[in-house]
């Protein structure tokens, strides 16, 4: 479960949701606002993990979140052993995100490795 707390609209508001998955990127790759390292806003890439979170529609309707707002996010990981490791639950609704580029990559690499091994026997 996820709890997001925002200090806007004159008081503190909590939003609730769940983690859908991890996005296959890191750092500021898909950041709405790029990091401005010249001002000392330096965040190590390993500290930034893009997580896709589904929030309650009613909470967002009552108090919309806007780009650039500061929030505090708490993700309950106490039940992590119930989930498969590193399996994204993100559902792509836009086909422009899909690619078949890597479908045969593992097979090609395995064939190359097998050929090298056979050549060294």
**Would you say residue 101 lies in a domain?**
no
Q: Report how many domains make up the chain.
A: 1
Nearest alpha carbon to residue 65 among 97, 95, 32: 32
Q: How far apart are CA 111 and CA 118, in angstroms?
A: 10
**Would you say residue 110 lies in a domain?**
no
**Segment 76-95 mean pLDDT:** 71
**Would you say residue 50 lies in a domain?**
yes
Domain span at 81: 2-92
Does this model's pTM top 0.85? no
Position 9 confidence tier, pLDDT thresholds 50, 70, 90: confident
> Higher model confidence: residue 105 or residue 25?
105
**Would you say residue 16 lies in a domain?**
yes
pLDDT at residue 91, rounded to an integer: 72
Residues 6+ away with beta carbon under 8 Å from 62: none
**Would you say residue 113 lies in a domain?**
no
Q: Report angle CA 28, 34, 40 to the nearest 5 degrees.
A: 100
pLDDT at residue 25, rounded to an integer: 62
Residues 6+ away with beta carbon under 8 Å from 5: 12, 13, 14, 15, 71, 72, 73, 74
């Amino acid at each position: 479960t996820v709890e997001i707390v925002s200090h806007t609209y004159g008081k503190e508001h909590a939003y609730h949701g769940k983690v859908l998955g991890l996005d296959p990127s890191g750092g500021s790759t898909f950041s709405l606002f790029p990091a401005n390292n010249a001002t000392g806003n330096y965040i190590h890439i390993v500290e930034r993990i893009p997580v896709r979170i589904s929030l309650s529609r009613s909470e967002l309707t009552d108090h919309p979140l806007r780009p650039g707002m500061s929030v505090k996010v708490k993700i309950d990981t106490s039940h992590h052993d119930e989930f498969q490791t590193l399996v994204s639950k993100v559902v792509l609704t836009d086909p422009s995100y899909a690619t078949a580029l890597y479908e045969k990559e593992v097979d090609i690499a395995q064939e190359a490795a097998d050929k090298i091994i056979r050549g060294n026997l």
